[in-house]
Amino acid sequence: MNSQTKSAALSADLNNFIYGVSRRNFQNAPELTKIGILLLKNFPAARDAVLEYFAMVFHDAVNVSLNHGDYESDSSANGSLESVTIIGPELCSLGDTWAPFIAPWCINLIMDIATDKANLPNATLQSTEPVRVLLDITTQNLTMLNSEERAKCIDMMLGCRACSWAVGWVGRAEPALVAPRALALGADAARAVLAHLANHPPALFHVRAAIVDLFQEAIKEDGQPEKKREVIPYLLNLASKSDIVLKALTQDIENTLTDEVLDRLGAVCAAHKHSVAWEGVGPASVVTLLLRSDVHCLFLLLKHTQRNVFSRQLLEHLLQKLEYECLFPDRNIPLLMSAAEEIATVRERLLTGNQREQYTLARILILVCNTLPSEFVSTISYLLQYSRNDTTLALLVRIISGTITMHTPNDSTDISTDTERYQNLIKTGVEYALREAMMSDTQIKKCFIENATFNDEKTYLHHFCLNIIKLLRWEGSNRVSYLRTRSISRAVEGNLQRVGAALHEYASLLRVRNTYTMNSLPELPTCHALAELLDRVDITGTKSPPPSVEAILKVVQATVKYFFRCLHIKDAMEKISGVQSACRLLRKLCAQSKLARALALRDLLETAMFREERAFGSRPHAAAPSPHHHLLMHLNQQHGPITQLTQSHTSVFHAGIIGKGVRKAGGPDDADIPPILTTNNELLMGALMSCMDGNSGIVEGATSVSLLLVELVSPDVMYNGLPWPDEDFTKQVSIERELYMRGAVERCAVSRAALRRVARARPALCLASALLRAAAATLLHRLRAHLDRHAQSAEAARELSALSELLSVMALGQLLPHPLSHMLELAPELTASELVQVLRDCLWNYTRDHVPSPALFTCDASGLHWRDPSTCKPPSTYTDTLRLIIQKRISKLGHLYPIMFLNLDKES
């Protein structure tokens, strides 16, 4: 197309544009808009006219958007809106050369629209499509200008109060230019601009930089106080109205307000505090700002209370204001919300700060915990774990009591109402502390890896127990008013099962001991602390509802484990102290529950007899075969299936002990019977007696022990009754069973000591007839085998010792009446044949015909069970053998005759 044709086309477009605009009809606005765009590109002289028309289109489009219902029937309404969508992309794509014209035009248009629609809310105006398009055009063209041109444009917008929202929107692209210029305005104007700028988070950095520069300039010592005396009041006033300014002021405030800066600020305040601008700056306004700030401002205030009286007064004013504001639950206080977000830092400073910091932060925590129950639980858990002195424990009590009784008058009758409501939270806090302390003990600790000095060799669980014990002591002293409600005791009682599980785990000898953790520290102090903790709480149900059966049984098992753990302690005093703690716990637990008593007795006996037998001097049931010795089965398997020579060594089986090979002289089975009067045995018997309370409890407990002994020793349930059979029956039927039972009892010192203890509760020994019968039967048959020719052998001496023990137990249990009870004194002087006669005619036949039964015993008024000697005199059939033996050896045994038979002769 030649130039003449272009000119003709341009002239036609210009005529059409002028004609269309003159009609002032926006129905054909899209066609005129397209013509205007062509004129801008091809005929720059028409720029002002085209832009003026575009402004008319934008004004009409804004009216259409705001009053869409009124324009629904007008076909020209859509024309303006369609034109706006065409204008936007075109004006943004004109390039750098057009930006100096387009940007001011857009800003002036925005100012006109904002002024014209000043009665509308900013949010409504910004939501219209034409205004959003106009803001986008402005933002994109501003980025194409140089810094000087951009500054002029920003200043144009800041000069219009009605378009502060537009400054905030456009300022997102240039926050570094907008922020300092906005601060140069008045407080209200600056607040409006910065409020819109705050919707763009990256702008906060530039706002903060501008504020810090303004603040630093205000406190600079340059000899021009007149220009900056109002800066501090202005910033405080602006911060009270603008959240972004307050956030910018308080962000990283501890690094901004250093000691040097605060000294200069104090000098400025002292010099200008009497001026007019400073009249609105006082403690009340500062406290109001602090309520809206974060917790780091509080930390900074606490830091300067040590040397500044005004800071101390301000702190007290702030705390009182906080407590007052908390009277209204519907109010959200930013300072408390910030404290809740930084709760870990608050708690840490509570432990490490000075006295003023500790008491201040305790008051803050009370307010936070009253609002957020979850933080109440976590605060209790944290302080129970990490408190290391009485001061912080006292603060814990203050936080608990303050949270529960907050804003409750001291003379109120409902002061304990909230205590019940918060009791479950305290219980949960104790539970969390216990669990987290155990978890902390298993975590790798930096101090172990770096070989740092570690003076306090206590596990986290140990510290937790010490803190709980200290609180229970304060509770028991009745000097702390709040603790009189037994809140700590009830919380521990609610976690009784978990405490018992912790004791069970730490008392185990097979516990995993990971290196570089608290688990590698000695566990006994922690066990003692757990036992003391359990000992201090009420587990009997006298002061509170009784614990569950599951919890009681768990604590019983843990206490038994702890008892046997204490038996391995080398230090005598520590050992006795630990055993006494375990016995006290067993006494408390078993006094209220027969099920607990049964479990405790079973656990004590089973553990002592089968798992901890070496601690009581017992011998294992079967020693492991030596690799150098052949088993009896292997030796016998070497014999061929066919006998080659009569009576040859290949046709004779080896005799020995199954599982151990050929019997060897002086082997472990030939060793002496282990002693029963050892320290550990006495401690075990004391623990068994602790499970029994009162005469009825002793009889019942001894009965349980007797039945348990039979159950644990007897290989089956046959022949465990009370009757004694004929002597021939044992020889033909049950001798192997009785040999096994006697060997099991003799190897186990615990079982023999328990039999003696059972014999003292006399009816209970009758239920152990199977054990007594097994010992008597084996003694009878072995003594008959030895006779006189083996009287001096070591085996015969062991048999005599076993006989003496059997007779002493039966005499102690009153199973042998007078004069049969004196067989114990005769036994050492009798030969093997005489012992056989006495055992058969006196002991066995008497017990066969007079079955040892609890029915033989009567209970007197004091609860003591015994047999009346006048009603249980044995017939002469069972005493004649003794009489004849004494008469036969009157020279040696004559002194026993009047003791045994004189009274019988007189009575007969």
pLDDT score at 409: 54
pLDDT score at 769: 92
Q: Rounded CA gap, 625 and 334, in Å?
A: 77
Mean predicted confidence (pLDDT) in 856-863:
78
pLDDT score at 552: 93
pLDDT score at 274: 62
Mean predicted confidence (pLDDT) in 139-154:
82
Statement: residue 550 has pLDDT above 70:
yes
Amino acid occupying residue 571:
D
If you search the block for the tokens 């803050």, which residue do you land on? 364
Q: Rounded CA gap, 325 and 364, in Å?
A: 13
Mean pLDDT of the chain: 81
Give the model confidence (pLDDT) of 759-786 as tens digits: 988 888 999 999 999 999 999 888 877 6
Statement: residue 363 has pLDDT above 60:
yes
pLDDT score at 275: 65
Amino acid occupying residue 400:
I
Statement: residue 632 has pLDDT above 70:
no
Statement: residue 861 has pLDDT above 90:
no
Phi, psi of 152 (to 5 degrees): -65, -40
Q: Rounded CA gap, 514 and 109, in Å?
A: 75
CA dihedral 99, 104, 108, 109 (to 10 degrees): -10
Q: Rounded CA gap, 498 and 506, in Å?
A: 12
* pLDDT grade for 256, boundaries at 50, 70 and 90: confident
Higher pLDDT, 193 or 876: 876
pTM of the model: 0.78
Give the model confidence (pLDDT) of 259-280 as tens digits: 777 777 777 776 666 666 566 6
Give the model confidence (pLDDT) of 884-900 as tens digits: 988 888 888 888 888 88
pLDDT score at 672: 58
For the chain, what is the largest distance between any 2 Cα atoms, rounded to a whole number of angstroms?
Answer: 168
Q: 656: helix, coil or strand?
A: strand
User: Above pLDDT 90, what percent of the chain?
Assistant: 30
pLDDT score at 696: 66
Q: What's the Cα-to-Cα distance from 803 to each of 629, 815, 827, rounded to whole Å?
A: 33, 15, 8
Higher pLDDT, 227 or 310: 310
Phi, psi of 429 (to 5 degrees): -60, -45
* pLDDT grade for 455, boundaries at 50, 70 and 90: low
Nearest residue to 776 via CA among 822, 729, 818, 819: 729
* pLDDT grade for 94, boundaries at 50, 70 and 90: confident
Higher pLDDT, 401 or 637: 401
pLDDT score at 234: 75
Give the model confidence (pLDDT) of 194-246 as tens digits: 766 666 666 677 777 777 777 777 777 665 555 555 777 777 777 777 777 77
Residues 6+ apart with CB under 8 A from 627: none
* pLDDT grade for 434, boundaries at 50, 70 and 90: very high
Give the model confidence (pLDDT) of 658-704 as tens digits: 555 555 544 444 445 667 668 899 999 999 999 987 666 788 889 99
**What are the start-end ranges of the H helices in 627-768?**
632-637, 679-690, 694-713, 727-729, 735-747, 749-760, 762-766
Is-cis flag, bond preceding 201, omega within 30?
no
Statement: residue 648 has pLDDT above 50:
no
pLDDT score at 718: 83
Give the model confidence (pLDDT) of 2-56 as tens digits: 566 666 666 776 777 776 676 666 667 788 888 888 888 887 778 888 888 888 8
pLDDT score at 195: 65
* pLDDT grade for 596, boundaries at 50, 70 and 90: very high
Do the Cβ atoms of 757 and 702 come closer than 8 Å? yes
Which H or E run includes 632? helix 632-637
pLDDT score at 876: 85
Of 89-93, 156-160, 328-332, 706-710, the least confident: 156-160
Do the Cβ atoms of 238 and 211 come closer than 8 Å? no
pLDDT score at 650: 44
pLDDT score at 666: 45
pLDDT score at 452: 67
Nearest residue to 196 via CA among 122, 104, 293: 122
pLDDT score at 772: 94
**What are the start-end ranges of the H helices in 201-308?**
203-218, 231-241, 243-250, 253-256, 259-272, 283-292, 295-304
pLDDT score at 300: 87
Q: Rounded CA gap, 744 and 714, in Å?
A: 9
Q: Please report, for the chain, the start and end positions of each structural domain, with discontinuous segments joined by +.
A: 1-173, 415-616, 692-856
User: Above pLDDT 70, what percent of the chain?
Assistant: 81
Of 3-7, 382-386, 808-812, the least confident: 3-7
pLDDT score at 667: 44
pLDDT score at 481: 85
How many CA within 13 A on the CB side of residue 767? 19
Mean predicted confidence (pLDDT) in 435-449:
87
Give the model confidence (pLDDT) of 820-856 as tens digits: 888 888 888 888 888 889 999 899 999 999 888 888 8
Amino acid occupying residue 564:
F
Higher pLDDT, 715 or 430: 430
